[in-house]
């Protein structure tokens, strides 16, 4: 019964993982955005070729709201190809690390736990993202592996954690927790690891321009969006729904305090940080990886019974029914993490001239330079009321008819009825300027086009 249960779990995990990998390969061949925000990252990656990702140039607003490491890697080729390949490679590395940690339970159990992680939410939808999340995740998991050895590699772990922070600053939360854990028994080793992290981050920052005042403005100041408990609560609830089985399993199978525990504590902190505007299921990528690594450590015990694989199958089915990744269940709505319609690229390609597009990745994919590459970040910074010269600059350009057309994924004349995330992308001042100077022209699939009056 035990082996049969694990084989059934493996079959379900493989099916979901293949669903994801198939979409990942398709996303690479698309050479365009599938998640909102990828356009700003792709644009910044292109700008790194002239070391100008944090400069305004001829644009009205350039987000570049991450440190430059991932931008540089994605900019080595077409960002929608190279950037995705980097993220996919990082995702597969994490899966291998999970399998490695579970190897004592045998191939079937170890492979199933790792593949189940690949086929889980949010990995399914974020595994190939043109975003730095997966690179930071892989570097952090690499540090966990380095610190868990019988003879820990403190310098190596520090370098990896420093690079993870240079990929995405939220990686500092798990890093801090791991250093605290190490310091309890080996304070000098913890200091060595912290020093090596600082050195690697500084070297990369100086070499890539990430240590400049401009970079601080983009990465820190513009990202300092309001945190509210009512935004954190639904994200935490979703995380609990899709991770309930591994959470309960870790709590009832003789919990022990290890470096993975420290990583999980930092991952919980990242999840709570998801109470900021714009946060989505990527905020529990680290928690899902930490739990999977934890399960790997308990794999020999779990592999000896049928309870966990049966619960794992139930968990996978619940996650699919609740979040419906890629619309795999006909008739059910897709929720957070939904990929955009690929036909949007052709719709934008057919509109000539200079455009203001809600998803700037559609412009990048068609070979055009976006003058505003992240409407969400622009709108949220305007909403804070802080000094933000870029705010008035964009509104003024719209009022003056500076764009040949405006492309939205929502009917701006009915923005009050739109989902909350759409209202966050379209600040009221911008909507008013658009409707004052432009008129609804046509709808191409999911794209609403507005032209000058």
Write out pLDDT tens, residues 361-373. Answer: 999 999 999 999 9
Average pLDDT rounded to a whole number, residues 432-439:
97
Among residues 33, 126, 128, the alpha carbon closest in space to that of 344 is found at: 33
DSSP state of 63: -
Q: 3-class secondary structure for 224-291?
A: CCCECHHHHHHHHHHHHHHHHHHHHHHHHCCCCCCHHHHHHHHHHHHHHHCCECCCCHHHHHHHHHHH
Report the C-alpha gap between 171 and 133 in whole angstroms: 9
Among residues 379, 380, 415, the alpha carbon closest in space to that of 398 is found at: 379
pLDDT level of residue 44 (50, 70, 90 thresholds): very high
Which of the residue ranges 130-139, 150-159, 304-313, 391-400 would you say has the lowest mean pLDDT? 304-313
Angstrom distances, CA of residue 101 to CA of 13, 314, 351: 18, 24, 52
With tokens 């006909």, the residue in question is: 330
Among residues 36, 122, 48, the alpha carbon closest in space to that of 79 is found at: 48
By the 8 A CB rule, do 40 and 374 touch? yes
Per-chain mean pLDDT for the chain: 94
Among residues 11, 38, 12, the alpha carbon closest in space to that of 374 is found at: 38
Q: What is the pLDDT of residue 22?
A: 96
Q: What is the pLDDT of residue 90?
A: 98
User: Tens digit of pLDDT for each residue in 57-114?
Assistant: 889 999 999 999 999 999 999 999 999 999 999 999 999 999 999 999 999 999 999 9
Among residues 392, 401, 411, the alpha carbon closest in space to that of 438 is found at: 401
Q: Is the peptide bond before 122 cis (omega within 30 degrees of 0)?
A: yes
Q: What is the pLDDT of residue 295?
A: 95
Query: How many residues appear in the chain?
Result: 453
Q: Which helix (H) or strand (E) holds 406?
A: strand 405-408
Which of the residue ranges 9-23, 319-333, 426-440 would you say has the lowest mean pLDDT? 319-333
Query: How many CA atoms lie within 13 Å of 209's alpha carbon, on the beta-carbon side?
Result: 20
Report the C-alpha gap between 9 and 20 in whole angstroms: 17
Which tokens in the block code for residue 14?
């493989």
Cα dihedral: 97, 272, 130, 375 (round 10): 180
Angstrom distances, CA of residue 291 to CA of 239, 243, 285, 360, 393: 12, 8, 10, 35, 46
List residues bridging with 356 in a β-sheet. 406
Q: What is the pLDDT of residue 420?
A: 87
Among residues 114, 5, 62, 6, the alpha carbon closest in space to that of 222 is found at: 62
Dihedrals φ, ψ of 302, to 5°?
-65, -35
Q: What is the pLDDT of residue 279?
A: 86
Express as a percent the part of the chain with pLDDT over 90.
83
pLDDT at 204 over 80: yes
Cβ neighbours for 357, distance < 8 A, ≥ 6 positions apart: 348, 363, 370, 406, 407
Among residues 237, 277, 226, the alpha carbon closest in space to that of 37 is found at: 277
Range 49-63 burial, b when 16+ CB lie within 10 A, else e: eeebbbeeeebbbbb
pLDDT at 268 over 90: yes
Which tokens in the block code for residue 235?
């994200």
Cβ neighbours for 7, distance < 8 A, ≥ 6 positions apart: 108
Report the C-alpha gap between 363 and 31 in whole angstroms: 12
Which of the residue ranges 89-98, 292-301, 325-334, 419-428 would you say has the lowest mean pLDDT? 325-334
Angstrom distances, CA of residue 379 to CA of 99, 224, 384, 385: 42, 13, 9, 11
pLDDT at 253 over 90: no
Q: What is the pLDDT of residue 309?
A: 95
Report the C-alpha gap between 251 and 432 in whole angstroms: 52
pTM of the model: 0.96
Report the C-alpha gap between 227 and 277 in whole angstroms: 7
Query: How many CA atoms lie within 13 Å of 99's alpha carbon, on the beta-carbon side?
Result: 14
């Amino acid at each position: 019964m035990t082996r049969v249960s694990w084989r059934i779990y493996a079959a379900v995990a493989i099916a979901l993982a293949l669903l994801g990998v198939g979409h990942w390969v398709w996303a690479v061949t698309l050479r365009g955005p599938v998640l909102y925000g990828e356009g700003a990252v792709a644009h910044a990656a292109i700008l790194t070729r002239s070391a100008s990702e944090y400069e305004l140039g001829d644009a009205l607003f350039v987000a570049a709201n991450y440190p430059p490491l991932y931008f540089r890697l994605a900019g080595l080729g077409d960002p929608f190809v190279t950037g995705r390949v980097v993220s996919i490679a990082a995702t597969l590395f994490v899966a291998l690390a999970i399998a490695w940690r579970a190897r004592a339970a045998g191939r079937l159990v170890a492979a199933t736990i790792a593949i189940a992680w690949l086929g889980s939410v949010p990995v399914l939808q974020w595994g190939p993202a043109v975003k730095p999340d997966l690179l930071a995740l892989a570097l952090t998991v690499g540090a966990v592996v380095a610190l868990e050895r019988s003879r820990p590699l403190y310098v190596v772990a520090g370098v990896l954690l420093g690079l993870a922070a240079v990929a995405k600053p939220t990686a500092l939360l798990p890093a801090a927790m791991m250093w605290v854990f190490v310091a309890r028994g080996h304070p000098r080793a913890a200091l060595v690891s912290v020093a090596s992290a600082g050195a690697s981050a500084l070297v990369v920052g100086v070499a890539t321009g990430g240590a400049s005042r401009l970079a601080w403005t983009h990465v820190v100041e513009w990202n300092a969006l309001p945190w509210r408990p009512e935004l954190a609560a639904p994200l935490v609830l979703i995380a609990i729904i899709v991770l309930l089985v591994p959470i309960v399993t870790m709590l009832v199978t003789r919990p022990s305090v290890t470096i993975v525990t420290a990583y999980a504590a930092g991952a919980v902190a990242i999840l709570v940080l998801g109470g900021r505007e714009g946060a989505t299921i990527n905020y529990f990528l680290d928690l899902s990886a930490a739990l999977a690594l934890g399960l790997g450590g308990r794999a020999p015990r779990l592999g000896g019974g049928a309870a966990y694989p049966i619960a794992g199958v139930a968990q996978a089915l619940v996650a699919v029914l609740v979040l419906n990744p890629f619309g795999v269940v006909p008739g059910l709505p897709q929720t957070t993490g939904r990929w955009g319609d690929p036909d949007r690229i052709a719709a934008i390609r057919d509109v000539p001239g200079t455009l203001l597009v809600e998803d700037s990745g559609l412009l990048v994919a068609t070979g055009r330079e976006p003058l505003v590459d992240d409407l969400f970040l622009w709108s949220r910074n305007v909403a804070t009321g802080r000094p933000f010269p870029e705010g008035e600059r964009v509104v003024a350009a719209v009022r003056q008819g500076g764009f040949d057309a405006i492309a939205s994924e929502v009917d701006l004349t009915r923005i009050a009825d739109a989902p909350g995330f759409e209202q966050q992308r379209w600040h009221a001042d911008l909507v008013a300027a658009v409707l004052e100077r432009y008129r609804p022209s046509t709808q191409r699939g999911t794209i609403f086009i507005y032209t000058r009056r």
